[in-house]
Amino acid sequence: MRHKKINEVKTIFNNISCSYDFLNSLFSLGLHRFWKNKLVYLLKPIDGEDWADLCCGTGDLSFLIFKKVSPNGTVTGIDSAKEILNIARKRSKLIGNKYISWEMQDIFEIDENLKNYDGICMSYGLRNLMNVEEGLKKVFNLLNNSGRAGFLDFNHSKLNSLADLFQKIYLRSIVVPISKFFQLSKEYSYIEKSIKSFPEGNKLMLIAKKVGFKRVEYRTIFFNQMGILIVEK
């Protein structure tokens, strides 16, 4: 079952890779950049730190974090989808950034003995893992003793709340029909399905505390449509 989910997600992101950045900007009206900057602001990366961007996609967060930790820090972008990671590499080459490392790897297969990050970030990745608790536990083990991590994703709103109804209408009436023009309706219809199985904010906090994080905070942004989980060891 786990491998089926991993392969499904990997296939989705490989399929949408060429349109990923354009559609992200289109569907969010460009606001996804603000949300990612908000995550980075809350995490407060500083010069000299070593960071990982898990499920990095085309590298948006990797580039934002690098601006904060350079010139003495490092950033590693990690993703299991080959095609979308290749776009991150091309973007890096276009701006002449030779300092961000890109690794194609499933996050559950990262060797914890070789990693000791000051910080870890993830945007729209935690929701796609087979098991959220295992994902948070993996992040916990990859961080050093004072490390922190942040996760930006869709907020799973209370059933039939205004935020929940708006989210469903937007996904069904706008996102999926538009993605159909790019022959990606199947891939984008997956979003609603994945949100349903994603824990609500309070439950995410409980899971993070269970894993062992001492500081746990969850806040919603953009009218409860998105959520940011911040954790610290």
Stated pTM of the model: 0.95
Give the model confidence (pLDDT) of 132-160 as tens digits.
999 999 999 999 999 999 999 999 999 99
* Residue whose tokens read 């899971």: 207
Tokens read off for 10: 């990997």
Q: Is the pLDDT of residue 93 over 80?
A: yes
* pLDDT reported for residue 138: 97
Q: What is the pLDDT of residue 97?
A: 85
Q: Which residues contact 213 (CB under 8 A, 6 or more apart)?
A: 136, 140, 231, 232, 233
Domains held by the chain: number: 1
pLDDT value of residue 81: 94
Whether the predicted pLDDT of 2 surpasses 90: no
Q: What is the DSSP string of 29-82?
A: TTTHHHHHHHHHHHH---TT-EEEEET-TTSHHHHHHHHHHTTT-EEEEEES-H
- The sign of the dihedral angle between the CA atoms of 122, 73, 214, 138 is positive
> Residue 14 has what pLDDT?
87
With cut-offs at 50, 70 and 90, classify the pLDDT of residue 7: confident
Which domain CATH number covers 124? 3.40.50.150
Domain of 167? 2-232
